[in-house]
Amino acid sequence: MTLSPIRKVFQGVADRHQMFRMFDRHAQRPNRWENDDSGALYRGEWFEICEASNDYMFEILPPLWMRGDMFAMREFLTGSITSIFFTLRIDGRARHFHGYCDLADKGSPERMRTAIIERESRPVRAMTREERLEHIWSSTADDYRGYAGERWPEADHGKRTVMFFTRAGGTTCKLLEDLTDAEIAAKLPVHLRYLPEQQAA
């Protein structure tokens, strides 16, 4: 399972509970404790948080570093990847964001800042298909999401899955990437279902 480039993984402003859940969205990944090469899963993920959560994270530990509108957490998630917190003025309003950057790549925080501002400055609210899928993954409870294992074709092993309730009253699992537009709409909260489709750049 490879994700990486810079991507928004939650729509709206995450509350503190949601923020802590999303710090480790991939906690259930297979082979977590064996040969853990999870950097690509986290690198580039970002989402919006509230000012109180931003301040709380700033006060937990002295930052590793501060640069104008951002600071880095002292504790690393994996390898050289750590949390970067941004306070950005977008359309005249201060907003707060969390992102995972690889500090071995010196330009990583600045590229993420640029990507967030570009994404959040769009004149019309819209979501790409990928953003819809990432929001579904972020907001689905652990009991209803997972990873394809031995019962799946070998080519699908390790891919993300989500649970659906069927009309007959049972449940079925489906690969996240294979969801149809109707299934995506059914999984999204009402206020996100009918946003226009934003084509990926």
Residue 2 lies in a domain: no
Please indicate, yes or no, whether residues 60 and 137 belong to a single structural domain of this protein. Answer: no
Please indicate, yes or no, whether residues 164 and 112 belong to a single structural domain of this protein. Answer: no
Please indicate, yes or no, whether residues 17 and 53 belong to a single structural domain of this protein. Answer: yes
Residue 199 lies in a domain: no
Total of domains in the chain: 2
- How many whole angstroms separate alpha carbon 45 and alpha carbon 133? 13
Specify whether the backbone of 13 is left (phi greater than 0), alpha (psi in -120 to 50) or beta. Answer: beta
Domain end point (choices 64, 95, 120):
120
| pLDDT (tens digit per residue) in 158-193 | 888 898 877 766 778 889 898 888 888 888 877 776
Query: pTM surpassing 0.85?
Result: no
Residue 162 lies in a domain: yes
Residue 63 lies in a domain: yes
Q: Containing domain of residue 32, as a range? A: 7-120
DSSP code of residue 178: G
Domain end point (choices 96, 120, 144):
120
| pLDDT (tens digit per residue) in 80-129 | 889 999 999 998 899 999 999 999 888 999 999 999 998 888 766 778 88
- How many whole angstroms separate alpha carbon 85 and alpha carbon 46? 10
Domain end point (choices 102, 120, 138):
120
Please indicate, yes or no, whether residues 49 and 71 belong to a single structural domain of this protein. Answer: yes
